[in-house]
Amino acid sequence: MSGELIGILGGLVGSTMTVIITKFLEIVQQKNEFSFELKKQFFSKKLQAAEAAIMQYSHFSEALNQLSILYSRYRESDSNVGQDLTNNFLKQIDDKIALANSSSLALSNAIGLYFDLQSNFTSNQILTHFYDSLNMLAPYTENVEFTHDQYLRNIGGNQEAEAYQIYIDAENNLDQAMKKVGEEYKIADTELRNQMHQIRNSMRKYE
């Protein structure tokens, strides 16, 4: 084989290797860029879910905390001043619940896709319990209203004292039920705060 032919073959081999190496580097770069884009999108969605969950959990946590205080002081609202404070407190709680419900539920419910939270309850279980406990108080409230109406009808009659005692018993039963629910709200609030703490700690590694 002549030297000229060897030179030509060597040039071809060199050119081929250059093309192969260049293509290989391009593939590696594209793969890295694709991987980076996926990680970027994942982080963005994770951040959105974390922000939505923290916002929603915070609103519910405040509502739970305020309700537990309100329920523990139910009988203190008998005076006009106490009633005004209670009504103002209830409005604040309603506002908090409305804000929580208007938060992005889809994003906050997706929190399990991005975080491995260690908790005794899922956020949905906490929220379900929140509304179930509100519904549980309905019969007590209705009984207070019914017995109070009965007492008013019996004022001046032979059964006034008995009707009044029945009404007071209904008030006491509602008072105890509200205190019990208030204590349960404290547990739910602790769970929500625990989940918020875990989410914040998980996101700190990106700081």
pLDDT at 155 over 70: yes
pLDDT at 42 over 70: no
What are 158-195's pLDDT values in tens digits? 998 898 899 888 888 887 887 777 777 777 777 777 77
Which pLDDT value is given to residue 46? 67
Instruction: Count Cβ neighbours within 10 Å for each residue of 89-119 and write b for 16 or more, e otherwise.
Output: beeebeebbebbeebeeebbbbbeebbebee
Average pLDDT over residues 15-22: 57
- Alpha-carbon distance of 62 to 185, in angstroms, equals 11
What are 45-80's pLDDT values in tens digits? 666 667 776 777 777 777 766 766 766 666 555 545
H or E stretch including 64? helix 3-72
Q: pTM for this structure? A: 0.52
Among residues 187, 169, 185, the alpha carbon closest in space to that of 72 is found at: 185
H or E stretch including 33? helix 3-72
Which pLDDT value is given to residue 162? 92
